[in-house]
Amino acid sequence: MTVQGLADQFSLGDLAQRLGVELRGDASILISGMATLGGAGPGQLSFLANPQYRSQLQGTRAAAVIIHPDLAAECPVASLISTNPYLTYARASQLFDRRPRQPEGIHPAAIVADDVVLGQGCRIGPRVVIEAGVVLGDRVEIGPGSVIGAGCRIGNDCLLHANVTLYYGVVMGERCVLQSSVVIGGDGFGFAPAQGRWHKIAQLGGVRIGDDVEIGASTTIDRGALKDTIIGNNVILDNQIQIAHNVEIGDGTAIAGCTGIAGSTKIGKHCTIAGAVGIAGHLEIADRVHLTMRSAITKSISEPGSYSSGTAMSTTAEWRKNAARFRQLDEMARKIRSLEQRLKALEPPDQA
């Protein structure tokens, strides 16, 4: 294994230049890593992006802090001035990534079909299986135990961690990251009922994934029934998400863990979907929709905005009382309508 990283340490001046931000302080200070405001020590870079942690600024032991111009005067140590400290932190974190990497080339314990096309600088780990007709772009890295099915195409600079499975014919763009145990291109949940039995429907489509997509651990994306399941560019998917056959997800959408999306639903661009959301099949969700945690989406959404379902948190005793009342809502509505009609009958006639 080799360790990724441009250098063991950087000077603050070098960091400011790489990140395109203003430096206030000694440019020769050496930075060897990153940490939180409260946990940082000498030689470490921190950041302040959330006002909730502003109280920790004065006591920080960090060598330098990434900070907004409006708060720069409060910083007791050297600072990197950024109008978007969180984005600058994200970019800086890449410079200190010490992730171990597979050695360049094909590990002796890997099984690679004779007709596989490998780009330059690929890294194929132990016990990887790559089937016939696969095409890998330049600098693709595939972790131990992964299986790449026949006819898959993986673009430049993609990283597949350990035990990823791509079924046959999956097409993936460039710079994608798949965490461990991701499964892409398995059969969709398609069965026809007849005479008390389920009859399997062959899933004849594929899966197409755009550029700059990140897919979290144990997430599954099913292949299409007749046409492809499509994941757009710059989509980020958390852990343990289920995406069913023929789903389409637009560019820039982010989906949190344990969400399930039923078949043939189309989700727009730049949507944000919180954890444990359930989305029914054959729906259309507009661009720039936000769905809050544990919402159950049962009809299409045509306008951008924030949408929720379910009830807010309460004590268990209160929830039980409210749940009992929920079951009585229809009866209560009928009684209210009856009372309204009776009151209307008692009103004196208009004296126009």
Catalytic residues: 245
Confirm if 300 and 279 have CB atoms less than 8 A apart. no
Q: How far apart are CA 208 and CA 171, in angstroms?
A: 5
Q: How far apart are CA 87 and CA 49, in angstroms?
A: 9
Q: Which neighbouring-strand residues pair with 45? A: 34, 64
HSE toward the beta carbon, residue 101, CA cutoff 13 A: 18
Q: How far apart are CA 295 and CA 293, in angstroms?
A: 6
Q: Which residues of 29-67 are buried (b: 16+ CB within 10 A; e: fewer)?
A: bebeebbebeebeeebbbbbbeeeeeebbeebebbbbbb
Distance between start and end Cα atoms, the chain = 93
